Amino acid sequence: MEKRESKLASLHLADSGFLFDPYTGLTYGLNETGLAVLRWLRDGLAPAAAAERLAREFDVPEPTARADVQEFYDKLGQEGLLWTR
């Protein structure tokens, strides 16, 4: 069975929101909330906990934060940014 490991720790993430995936060489731009959420995920927060923190720190209604974080998390997965293959 193939070994799948988290990629989050190895992503290059700058304060400007510039994101570089060292596995693929692809680059991305994140806005302020995307940057914050990705950092929390990288620090080990689960998406639900990241949504709670987003709601708290950015004054966003919790249902909105949950939906947005889930959408963002799914997008990270689609882009192959969460796990090694």
> Which chain residues interact with another protein by CB under 8 A?
12, 20-26, 84-85
Quote the least distance from Cβ 52 to another protein, whole Å: 32
Gap between the Cα atoms of 16 and 32, Å rounded? 8
Quote the least distance from Cβ 36 to another protein, whole Å: 22
Angle, in degrees to the nearest 10, between helices 32-42 and 47-58: 140
Quote the least distance from Cβ 56 to another protein, whole Å: 33
Give the helix ranges, DSSP H, for 1-85: 32-42, 47-58, 62-78
Q: Which CB sits closer to another protein, 20 or 28?
A: 20
